[in-house]
Structures are given as C-alpha cells and as structure tokens.
Amino acid sequence: MDQTGAYEDDLSPDELAFQRRYGPWDAWTPQQAKEVFDPTGLTWWIAGGWAIEAFTGEPRPHEDIDVSMWRKDVLSLVDVLDGSFHVWAAGPDGLCPLYDDRKTMPERADQVWLRQHALGPWLADCVLNRDRNGRWVSRRDPDFDAPLSEVTWEREGIRYYNPEIVLSFKAKLARPKDERDFDVTLPLLDDRARAFLADYLRRKEPAHPWQQRL
C-alpha cells in the first residue's frame, strides 16, 4: 500500500525515506524550546542554523532545531520531562528510548530526540556536549575547551553558539546550506572570530576552500 500521502509533498527522496523509517519532524522554534527547557533548570543553548539566523538576522529554512546541553545532564532531562515528553537516545546504533528502568545512555549516542508520544512528530534534536571540569569541549576539536560563556552569546533570554563555532562544525559537512550560512555570516565576523575559524580550519580542515576567504 502506498502511504506517501501521509508525508509532505516537497520532501527529497532521502528525507522521505528517513521519515518513513523514523517518523516526521515538526521542530520547535528557539522560543518554543525556551518554554520547555527553561523550567527544567538545566543549561542549554541553540546550535546550527537557528544560531546563524539569530546572529545574521537573515531568515533561512530549518529542517529541525539543534538544542545543545551537557551530556552529564541527560538523565536529569529524562526525569524532569517524564510525563510530558519521550526522550530517545540517537546515535550510530539507532534510536532507543530512555525511560523507567532503561535510562542508561548508550556510549556511542551523542544526541537525544524529543517527542510527546509515539504518534507525534519529533520536536527537538538535543546535541550532547561533554565537559572538562565544567568547561565546554569542542566535539570537532577535543583538545580545545573554554568556558561556555566564551563560545556562546545571548539574545532575549536564549543562548546561542557563537557563529565561528557553528561554522567550525559546518566546515566538515560542506552541504549547500552550510555554504550559504558561511556566505551570509562571513561579512559580519569580527577579527577574533575570523582568527578562530581560520586557525581551526588550518589545523583540522587544511584543504578547506573557506580558508582563502578568511
């Protein structure tokens, strides 16, 4: 039976295949994420395309929302959201629920997904960040750590990654949307941000074409 009619018409073949396996997304905005995460009392911040949009003021399409938080807080998140949202670990080994007596976070999973129930869409992709003595550790450059306050900025009560941090993540992916994000962000970067990104690319992505533009 063809059930493609249950999905949006403009999905790419890859996105359609993904949704048919894992379910659809109806991702929150940063403000909606704030309404859920602020009451938890846990530390969280926004990554990815929403962080780029907040910094540049340039609207862009969003397939999901990347909410970052400390990995050490994930089981506290499960407890505080119990009864409101289902939390699933996501990683190379697939998805598995975290609830009741199954609250062991798989070692290789570095994200959790949230939804309200089995028939509901996924609402948020939470990227789990390790810390080193309370300092933020870069997932792309594990030797680098810094206070969270130095790699994020805040607007209207919502904390976002600094643009150079977002672009350091995006450099490895080099998707069309990442190229667009670089194009709109580059003119707005100050000397410090440019130097950070240039140093990161020199060490981690030495052949990356962005280097010539920094």
Domain presence at residue 213 = no
CATH number at residue 75: 3.30.460
pLDDT given for residue 95 in this prediction: 93
Do residues 47 and 68 lie in contact, with contact meaning Cβ atoms separated by under 8 Å?
yes
pLDDT given for residue 151 in this prediction: 99
pLDDT given for residue 194 in this prediction: 98
Domain presence at residue 174 = no
Domain presence at residue 91 = yes
Domain presence at residue 198 = no
pLDDT given for residue 1 in this prediction: 35
Domain presence at residue 104 = yes
The domain of 90 spans 22-161
Can you list the residues of the chain whose pLDDT is less than 70? 1-10, 100-102
Residue-wise DSSP of the chain: ---GGGS-TT--HHHHHHHHHH--B-PPPHHHHHHHHGGGT--EEE-HHHHHHHHH------S--EEEEEGGGHHHHHHHHTTT-EEEEEETTEEEE-BTTB-PPPTT--EEEEESSTTSPB-EEEEEE-EETTEEE-SS-TT-EE-HHHHEEEETTEEEE-HHHHHHHHTTT--HHHHHHHHHHGGG--HHHHHHHHHHHHHH-TT-GGGGG-
pLDDT given for residue 20 in this prediction: 86
Domain presence at residue 36 = yes
Domain presence at residue 1 = no
Number of folded domains that form the chain: 1
Domain presence at residue 154 = yes
Distances (CA, A) of 113 to 87, 131, 161: 6, 20, 20
